[in-house]
Every structure is written in structure tokens, then in C-alpha cells.
Amino acid sequence: MAAIVNPDLDRCRSQATFDPLLLTYFIYDGPEKTKRRRFLQHLALKESKKVNDCQLSELSKEEQYEVALQKVTATYRRIFELGLQDPADISLYRNTFIEGHPFAIHVLAFLPAVQKLASEEQKAKWLPLIERFQMIGTYAQTELGHGTFVRGLETTATYDPKTREFIINSPTTTSAKFWPGGLGKTANFVVLMAKLITNGRDCGLQSFLVQIRDLETHQPLPGITVGDIGQKFGFGFIDNGFLILKDVRIPRDNMLMRYAQVLEDGTFVSAKNDRLLYGSMTLIRSHMASACGRALAMAATIATRYSAVRRQSEINAGAGEVQVLDFQTQQYRLFTQIASAYALLMAGEESSAVYRTVSSEVETGNLQNLPILHALSASLKAFSSWQMMFGIEQCRLACGGHGYSSASGLPKLYANEVSACTYEGENTVLCLQAARFLIKSYNAAEKGEQLPSLAGFLQAPKGEKSRLTENLELDQLIAAYEHRAARQVREANSRFLSHLNKGATATEAWNQSSQSLVEAVVTFSHAFVVRAFIEKVTSSVLEPSLSSVLIQLAQLYALHGITRNSGQFLKGGYMSDHQLEMVENKLYELLAALRPNAVALVDAFEFPDGVLDSALGRYDGNVYEELMEYAKRSKLNKTEVHPGFFKYQKPFVDSLKSQAVAQSRL
């Protein structure tokens, strides 16, 4: 029997001015793909429950790992049985079946690293085994002492021409590999980043395929010390690990030799471009805006549905308690996050498209656009994970006390997803990488050189004023963001030059202007996201009722960014006080205008309840019943009187009682 839907949530749905199904089609690329998505999700949820229906967040780390392993093996068994081939189908099925798992780095980083870095011959040998999990691997780059500064890695791979082998060593405590996902207990192979030494010469970092565990017994091989790194902020189900190598010998053929090679006699043949070694990092970074958008969309769905159900306080005295979604402050908190989720999803599509284009150029040996891809993927990864981190926390806070309960699903979402600010490159560091590209492009623009379209905004004439009016022209919103980015880049460059003029070296001057550079990169990414959102919405053929809501949402996203960073938009007189006031007024108007559509905007993401895993975000809105059920399931409620009562509480209370009696006798 279908559950009765909470009447407030039901009413919100009936108030929508557009058909959410059309929005679902827009998000997931049409009716056919949506149908397939629903089918696969339904199948995955049904089968996932059969395998194990317990909640990972209620288990210890060891239990989470075991259940996640049980589930991920079942997932892939079914994926093979079903014959799923399309990577999008596979990841949808897997991500519905299980929220996270110890094979994550095998599929997200180990497999792509071999695809990108191995020669054709090596790929033919290893990829079939990797794809069918006969080799399970991880990407072992980070060390205890170095993560960001990859050139500082200490692990060595010394070539021995006599045996035609590399001898791998972790020479110091700080050279132990540390953090790779799946390394702790799961992987039997790693793609290892190590300093190549051949013919007595340090040839810099190269990648090697190293077996670390026996394929039958799973025991570490001789010379290998490996294990799990312990409790973390989140990701309890992933065994991030450490690895120490002592005189581990691997055949020469196990160096990934697509770009650089070591010949049998030890001669080193260098790559056309050293940075091609970083290809798998670029791949993951390029797709992270979409992943961040999805995580934020989940949080926004939970908080928006709950805010439609939750009644608290009165707006008009005596008129009864209102849905908290009617408070303007709640609308501001949530609708700006709904807008951010959509914005990141659209920007993610755009950055994945840039990745596809540039990586196919790279495949043919054309590296001209690699710096653009690096700058975009690095900066957007940082911007989107920061927006997501802030946004999920806003959604959690917007749920009041129940947002603090694990039942809301929000604490674990935050704890898991916030790691995206750190992995694949710490955000600040990645911004500084993108800054190199922006400053170079700025100087090229100053010399009148033609810039790639991504940096074209740097050619905008200085001293222009915003022409934004009450009509909130979309081109003027894009222009405002691009002018802001150009000004911030110019300002960061001036800071850099002024330190140089005061006698600092180039690297010192860079460090002394680095906060300004990071801010410039954030404005660059923000402009990219605003443009991607607006262009996607305006270039798609949409039913007018849907189009107008999406335009409102894109406007809200852009106006919100202006109000939060007003100083940068007012700088140099680009925007006037009057325009800023208009932006604020329009933002408040948009909150009211979007109120009837809030629930439909999140429903359109179509996250099944089993994926949201939230008492507050349930589709039927039966929040209180579920919270009560969740409370009753608490392990502390397994016994009416906890053994601790007799062990500690009663003896304590009794001891004070007898003391009190003794004292009263004095």
C-alpha cells in the first residue's frame, strides 16, 4: 500500500508552476536516459536490500568495511551478470547499491592510471585483469611526509640492469605511502609513484605497477609492510592505508612506459611532457564538479522536504505555526543551495566536455591545451568542493536539532564529502596552480596576444561600468562576474609586481601575493560556473514554464554571489551602490517567487529514499514516524536497563547516599 504523503509536502508539490518530470529529463538528458536510470536504480535498491539492509553509519569502522566489501562484491557480481557495459550505467547502479566502498580507488584511480600511463602492450596484458578484478589496485602517490609537493616524494625505484629489475624502497619514515584508498586491507596491486634512479641518475618521478599481496593468501609479499591508517573524519567504509617497501624487486616491464621508458641497459628515455604523468589526477578533478553538485543536491533535497514538513513558530500571531519553508531566512539558506547544486551540475557537464575534447587532443600528441585543462580542472575542483562543503553544512543547520541527528543523513554526507576539498590536491594548492595560468594569460593579454576562450575575459576593457538593470539581463550577470575576475587577476598581478619591485625574488613575491591569487582564481571559477549555468539554461529547448523557473534559479545563483562578495563588485566603481541595492531587492523577490517551486526543484533530482538514507528527506514526508523508529532502533535501547547502570551509576549513587547518611550522623 502506498504510504500517505504528508499533506504539507503534498500541497507544496501541487503548487509547482512547472512539471518536475520535464526538469528531470533536462537534468538526466532526456526521457530515455531517465527511464533507464529509474530502472537501474530500482533494481539496485531491491538487490542491495537483499544483500544487507543495515545502515553503514550505525556500524563500527571494522563492520562498515566488511559490509561495504560484502555489498561491493555483490554489486559487481550483478553488474557482470546483467552485462552492464556503459560506464554511466555501471556507476549509477553501483552508487545506488552502495554509498561507498573499498574498491573506489580501484575503479576511480587505479584503472584510469593504467589506462593513461601504460603502453599498449602493458594495457593489453593488465586491463582485462583489472576490469575483472583479478588484480585489485589503488593509486599510491601520497606519502606520510609529502602529498602536495609531488616532486618531494621519497620512494625510490632503482634500476638494476643485471637483473633487469627495479628495486623499490621507502628509505625514510616519511617516505611510507599513506592515505591511498583500498590499500589498507583490499588491494593486491598499486600504481606507485616513485623517484626513478637509473645509471646512477635521478630521473624524477615515474609510475610503477607493484604487486603487494599474494593473490591466493592475500598475505603481504616479502619486503612489504602494509595496513590501514585508522579512524578518519568520514569514509569509515574505505580502508585508506600505509605501505612501506624494502628492497622490493619488480620486472623492468612493470614501469608504466607509455610516455617515458627505461631501456634494458638502463638508458632513460624521457616523456615529451613530464606533466602527462599527472593525467589521472586531471581526469578525476575534471569530474568532481558534477560529484559535488550531486552531493549538494542530496543535502538540499533533504533540507527542503523537511522544511516543508516542519512547522515551527507563527508569522502572524494566533494564525498557527507555519512551515519553516515560509520564513524568508530559511528560503535564503535553502534556495541558494538548490541553485548552487544546479549550477555545479551544469558546470560539471561543461568541464567534463572540456576534458573529453582536450584529452582526445592529448591522445593524438597535441598538448597545446593541456595547461587550460589543468587550470580549469584544478580551479573548478577547488571551487565546487568548497561550495558543496559550505552548502551541505547550511542545509544541515537549516534542519535545526534533527539535522544534528545521524537519522537526517546529513552528518555522514558532510563527513564523507568534505574530503573532496583535500583529496586530488588540496584546494588552496590547486587554486595556486590555476593562478599560474591566469597570470600568464593576463600578461599575454597585456601584450595584445590572442587568448584561449576560457581566459578571454581578461581582455575586457578596464574601467567599464556594469549595465545591469532591474531586468536582470543574463548577459550582464555574466559580464559582472567576468569583470570581477579580470579585476581580481589584475590586482593579484599588481601585488606580485609590487613585491618584485621591492626586491623580492619571483618565488617570494608569489608567496607574498598568494592569498590574492587564490581569491582571483575563486572569482575565475565563479564566473565559469555562472556562465555555464546561464548558457545551459538559455541554450536548451525547454517548455516556457520550466525555462522561466530555471532562469530565476540561475539569476538567484548569480545575485547571491554578488551580495556575498559585494566589495569585489563595487571595486573600481564597476557596480554602483544603487545597483547593489537593486541586486539585494531582486534576490529577496526571487526567494518569494521560487517558494512554490522549491519542493519540485529538488524532487526533480529523483533521489530514491534508499539513496538519500534520511529520515528528514523522505519522499512521503513521514519524518516524525521515521525519527521515532530510528530512535527505537538505537543500540542503547536493546535492553531496558543498561548494564552500566549496575556497574557504575547505581554504585556511585549508592555510595553518595551512604556518605550522606554517614555525614548526617556526624
Ligand X SMILES: Cc1cc2nc3c(=O)[nH]c(=O)nc-3n(C[C@H](O)[C@H](O)[C@H](O)COP(=O)(O)OP(=O)(O)OC[C@H]3O[C@@H](n4cnc5c(N)ncnc54)[C@H](O)[C@@H]3O)c2cc1C
List residues bridging with 225 in a β-sheet.
Answer: 244
The site partner of 51 among ligand X, ligand LEIVNPRT, none (C-beta below 5 to 8 Å per kind) is: none
For 67-76, b where at least 16 C-beta lie within 10 A, e where not — what string?
bbbebbebbb
List residues bridging with 284 in a β-sheet.
Answer: none
> What's the grid cell of residue 139?
593509486
Distance from C-alpha of 99 to C-alpha of 67, rounded to nearest angstrom = 11
Interface region with ligand LEIVNPRT, contact rule CB under 6 A, candidates 6-14, 277-285, 326-334, 643-651: 277-285
The site partner of 562 among ligand X, ligand LEIVNPRT, none (C-beta below 5 to 8 Å per kind) is: none
Interface region with ligand LEIVNPRT, contact rule CB under 6 A, candidates 65-73, 126-134, 158-166, 287-295: 287-295
- Taking the complex as a whole, the smallest distance from the CB of residue 423 to ligand LEIVNPRT amounts, in Å, to 4
Q: How many residues bind ligand X (CB under 6 A)?
A: 23
Residue 251 three-state SS: strand
DSSP class of 599: H
DSSP class of 605: T
Q: Is 554 in the site for ligand X (CB under 6 A)?
A: no
> What's the grid cell of residue 454?
576560457
Which residues fall within 8 angstroms of residue 379, CB to CB, at 6 or more apart?
430, 431, 433, 434, 521, 522, 524, 525, 528
- Taking the complex as a whole, the smallest distance from the CB of residue 516 to ligand X amounts, in Å, to 13
Q: Is 141 in the site for ligand LEIVNPRT (CB under 6 A)?
A: yes
DSSP class of 151: G
Question: Which of 424, 519, 606, 626 is flagged as catalytic?
Answer: 424
Q: What is the total residue count of the chain? A: 666
Q: Is 155 in the site for ligand X (CB under 6 A)?
A: no
List residues bridging with 169 in a β-sheet.
Answer: 156
The site partner of 33 among ligand X, ligand LEIVNPRT, none (C-beta below 5 to 8 Å per kind) is: none
The site partner of 240 among ligand X, ligand LEIVNPRT, none (C-beta below 5 to 8 Å per kind) is: ligand X
Residue 189 three-state SS: strand
Distance from C-alpha of 45 to C-alpha of 42, rounded to nearest angstrom = 5
Q: Is 184 in the site for ligand X (CB under 6 A)?
A: no
Q: Are 344 and 292 in contact (CB under 8 A)?
A: yes
Residue type present at position 436: R
Cα dihedral 354, 359, 360, 363 in deg (nearest 10): 170
What is the number of other CB atoms lying within 10 angstroms of the CB of residue 325?
A: 25
**Options 100, 112, 181, 348; binder of ligand X; rule CB under 6 A:** 181
Residue 635 region by backbone torsions, left for phi larger than 0, else alpha for psi between -120 and 50, else beta: alpha
The smaller minimum CB distance to ligand X, of residues 147 and 621, is found at: 147
181 belongs to an annotated ligand binding site = yes
198 belongs to an annotated ligand binding site = no
Footprint of ligand X on 231-250 (CB under 6 A): 235, 240
Interface region with ligand LEIVNPRT, contact rule CB under 6 A, candidates 421-429, 444-452, 461-469, 611-619: 421-429
**Options 72, 108, 190, 260; binder of ligand LEIVNPRT; rule CB under 6 A:** 108
Q: Is 424 among the residues known to form the active site? A: yes
Rounded to whole angstroms, what are the CA distances from 164 to 192, 253, 263, 441, 581?
A: 18, 9, 9, 45, 72
Closest residue by Cα to residue 249 from 229, 277, 223, 272: 223
DSSP class of 334: H
Cα-Cα end-to-end distance for the chain: 70
**Options 2, 120, 151, 450; binder of ligand LEIVNPRT; rule CB under 6 A:** 151
Interface region with ligand X, contact rule CB under 6 A, candidates 14-22, 299-307, 419-427, 573-581: 419-427
Q: Is 140 in the site for ligand X (CB under 6 A)?
A: yes
**Options 24, 41, 57, 141; binder of ligand X; rule CB under 6 A:** 141
| Contacting positions for ligand LEIVNPRT (CB under 6 A) | 104-105, 108-109, 139, 141-142, 147-151, 181, 275, 278, 281-282, 284, 287-288, 291, 370-371, 374, 423-425, 429, 433, 436
Catalytic residue numbers read 424
Binding-site residues for FAD, in ranges, read 142, 181
| Contacting positions for ligand X (CB under 6 A) | 105, 109, 138-142, 146-148, 179-181, 235, 240, 419, 422-423, 425-426, 428-429, 432
Binding-site residues, in ranges, read 142, 181
